[in-house]
Amino acid sequence: MSVPLFTPIDMGGDVVLPNRIVVSPMCQYSAPEGSASDWHLAHYAQLAASGAGLLVVEATAVSAEGRITAGCLGLYNDANEAALKRVVDWCRAYMPTTKLGIQIGHAGRKASAQRPWHGGGPLTARDVPDLPWTTVSASAIAFDSMGGGVGFQGGAPAQAPAAKWHVPVALDVHGLERVKAEFVATAQRAVRLGFDVIELHGAHGYFLHQFLSPLTNRREDDYGGTKQKRRRYPLEVFAAVRAVVPRERSLGIRLSATDWVDGAMTVDDTVETARQLKALGCDFIDVSSGGTIPTAKITVGPGYHVPFSARVRKEAGIRTWAVGIITEPEQANDIVARGDADCTAHARSFMVDPRWGWNAARALGVETPPLPTPYHRAGSILPFKPQAAMAKAAE
């Protein structure tokens, strides 16, 4: 009997994933000057051997000013590219069946922040050597100007210190062209590195989302006001990136389906955005939510984004990934089986269990994904009966 989670999926272009499991981008905040470190090599090496069909590299900034923190990964200069090539080359050499993706983005007004384990709030002059830098956005509205004190998006937000968030510079048209060119240049580097899948980050209150949401976009020019004008800049950026990403590669975007605030961005808005992105050559939508303002009341629970993914998939007619506390293999398989998403994307599940994909296959009774050659002897060990399996293997 076919198990939906472990059936191949055409992701657009020439990209076919061997299964529907995606390792979601997970910020590591461990990249000096934006360059991947030994930590990244160890981190992505184990995740490439996780059994997932696609491994997506963490949010990768298109410029130094676009980093969330001073430790965020970047792909905006030759040193960044060379450092990340080391990681990509390892994954290709030892786990060639795992497809590789990268999420590229710009943090906008949520940039110049402390690492989460330092509180996640805005950098201040006291945070030496990570001095604050000027942030930019659609409008000059600070992250905490809507009230609140929660300072960091990413799982359970950390409590920000009392310091006020920076007021960003509202970019003029020349600034918008500059950032668009940075997205294009980073996409070209990602293509050169050989990534199969490229995802723009248009969610969680970061730069592109800041144009889509009326909470952060108060512009009175052609990039603000109506819903369609608020879409204009993200659509322009996507189109510019699509123009340099070969059609044999898969290109998509992560969107926050809703701001979780009355009168702000809704799932209906996101469905229409998805329709227009599809017309521009978008291959998939990675459907998340929230992150725009710190005081939004978000209803969190297992699979809480799945209904949003289902609506976007059905009404926009585009592939979707479902995210958000999808921890159990049966849960993920049911999501795909119901047609609520084409893939399920997991983050913390893989931190807890770097072999989640292998173990999901065993739990669902299908053949495990390919293992690295040195691990082949582990293929007969069942994780839920380790002693019995080890005894059988020793016979």
154 or 361: which carries more pLDDT confidence? 361
pLDDT, tens digit, 9 for 90 and up, residues 338-377? 999 999 999 999 999 999 999 999 999 998 888 888 888 8
Predicted local confidence at residue 375, as pLDDT: 85
User: What one-letter code names the amino acid at 172?
Assistant: D
Indicate the CATH number for domain 4-394.
Answer: 3.20.20.70
Report the range of poorest mean pLDDT among 38-47, 95-104, 185-194, 379-388. Answer: 379-388
Predicted local confidence at residue 392, as pLDDT: 40
Q: Say which of 76, 206, 233, 304 is annotated catalytic.
A: 206
Residue 76: active-site member:
no
Predicted local confidence at residue 380, as pLDDT: 62
pLDDT, tens digit, 9 for 90 and up, residues 301-343? 999 999 999 999 999 999 999 999 999 999 999 999 999 999 9
pLDDT, tens digit, 9 for 90 and up, residues 199-250? 999 999 999 999 999 999 999 999 999 999 999 999 999 999 999 999 999 9
Predicted local confidence at residue 161, as pLDDT: 45
pLDDT, tens digit, 9 for 90 and up, residues 255-268? 999 999 999 999 99
pLDDT, tens digit, 9 for 90 and up, residues 87-114? 999 999 999 999 999 999 999 999 999 9
Portion of the chain with pLDDT greater than 70, in percent: 91
Q: For 49-77, what is the mean pLDDT?
A: 98
154 pLDDT exceeds 60?
no
Predicted local confidence at residue 1, as pLDDT: 62
Predicted local confidence at residue 369, as pLDDT: 86
Predicted local confidence at residue 225, as pLDDT: 97
Contact 179, 111 (CB under 8 A): no
Quickly state the pLDDT bin for 153 (edges 50, 70, 90): very low
148 pLDDT exceeds 80?
no
